[in-house]
A = this chain, B = another copy of it.
Amino acid sequence: MPDQPSLLPPAPPKPADPAASLFSIFTYDAEDVEERQSWDVDTCRTMHKAGRITWVNVDGLNPEEVERLCNYYKVHPLLLEDILTPNERPKVEESGGVIFCVLPMIFYNKSSNCIETEQVSLVLGKDFVLSFQEEPERDLFNPVRRNLRDAGSKVRERRADYLLYNLLDLIVDGYFVVMENLAERLESLEDTLLRIQTKRQLAQISSLRRDVSKMRRAIQPVRELVAHFVRSDSPLLDERTDKYFRDVLDHSIQAYDFVESQRDMLMNLQDLYMNQINLKMNEVMKMFTLLATLMAPATVIGGIFGMNFDVIPLAHQEAGFWFAVGGMLLIPLGMILWFRSRKWF
Complex-state Cα separation, A268 to B308, whole angstroms? 60
Contact of B302 with A308 in the complex, beta carbons under 8 Å:
no
Number of interface residues of A (CB under 8 A): 86
Interface status of A299 (Cβ within 8 A of chain B): yes
Contact of B302 with A311 in the complex, beta carbons under 8 Å:
no
A244 — which chain B residues lie within 8 A by C-beta?
78
Contact of B209 with A268 in the complex, beta carbons under 8 Å:
yes
A244 nearest CB neighbor, chain B only: B78
A298 — which chain B residues lie within 8 A by C-beta?
300, 303-304
Known: A244-B78, A274-B275, A312-B308. A217 touches B302 (CB 8 A): no
Chain B proximity mask over A260-297: 1 for CB below 8 Å, otherwise 0: 11001100101110111101011011111111110111
A291 — which chain B residues lie within 8 A by C-beta?
293, 296, 335
Q: Given B213, B285, B321, which contacts A312 in the complex, CB threshold below 8 Å?
A: B321
Contact of A288 with B290 in the complex, beta carbons under 8 Å:
yes
Identical chains bound together, number: 5
Main SS of the interface on chain A?
helix
Complex-state Cα separation, A311 to B315, whole angstroms? 8
Q: Given B78, B289, B307, which contacts A288 in the complex, CB threshold below 8 Å?
A: B289
A213-262 CB contacts (< 8 Å) to partner B: 213, 217, 221, 243-244, 246-247, 250, 253-254, 257, 260-261
Contact of B321 with A313 in the complex, beta carbons under 8 Å:
yes
A271 — which chain B residues lie within 8 A by C-beta?
206, 270
Complex-state Cα separation, A290 to B91, whole angstroms? 59
The minimal Cβ–Cβ distance linking A343 to chain B, given in whole angstroms, is 8
28 sample A-B contacts, Cβ–Cβ < 8 Å, listed by A number: A88-B250, A95-B243, A196-B343, A202-B275, A209-B268, A213-B261, A213-B264, A213-B268, A274-B275, A277-B279, A277-B282, A281-B282, A281-B286, A288-B289, A289-B292, A292-B292, A292-B293, A295-B297, A298-B300, A299-B299, A299-B303, A302-B304, A304-B328, A306-B308, A308-B308, A309-B317, A310-B318, A311-B318
